[in-house]
Amino acid sequence: MSTDYGLMIRNLLSFYDFNGKTMIAIGAGGGQFVAYGHAPRRIVAVDQDAAALDQLREAVAKNNMGDKFEFVRGDFLTMDLPVRGSVVLFDFCLHEMADPALALARAGMLAGDVVVFDHGRSSEWAYYVVEEDKVKLSWKALERFTVTRRQEHSAEHRFKDHAELLAKVKVQGKVAIERIERFKTETDITIPLTYELALIQFP
């Protein structure tokens, strides 16, 4: 699988100035976007997936940023997070929240600025991984808040063949596997995706 994560990070960093700030990064596990960690002064990385946090720890170590990161495992909707920051970042995870509006409200209690970085509502990729409805609901939740800035960007996921694509989407279940059947005999598969950025500012 090939995706230009570097460009996505540059778009995130040009959208909001994280320099010198304390960031609370929700859904930060996995480490694909770890390079944004060079900008903030401190990052509290929250994820409920232990394996994803382990991957993030490895990425942080490789990038020599261990002194910046604090790792917290838990469900953001229910956990007690006794820390405040300058900004909360939802790192491609708001659509996975059981109650996106509640998640945004909780974030606003922790920081004045909240940045949402997630799948776009028009993303083909969201369809293939059966997340299109969750994505639409999560962006609709933002209508309850004061959004001061938005951007949408385009990118691509590229796979060498159906087997590589299947390995990526099979965790999403039967429907995802059925949806990628059309690529069964193809190679050099390209699936467009969009992602959106939004800034909510709380008093």
Domain ranges for the chain: 5-158+193-201
| pLDDT band at residue 143 using 50, 70 and 90 as cut-offs | very high
Which residue do the tokens 């800035």 mark? 149
Strands 187-201 and 113-119: antiparallel
Q: Can you give the pTM of this predicted structure?
A: 0.94
pLDDT tens, residue by residue, 73-124 = 999 999 988 889 999 999 999 999 999 999 999 999 999 999 999 999 999 9
CATH number for the domain running over 5-158+193-201: 3.40.50.150
DSSP character for 1? -
Alpha-carbon gap, residue 173 to 147, rounded angstroms = 34
Q: Would you state the pLDDT for residue 136?
A: 97
The pLDDT of residue 161 is above 80:
yes
What's the pLDDT at 200? 98
| % of the chain surpassing 90 pLDDT | 91
Query: DSSP string of 55-96?
Result: HHHHHHHHTT-TTTEEEEES-TTTS------SEEEEES-GGG
Q: Band the pLDDT of 156: cuts 50, 70, 90.
A: very high
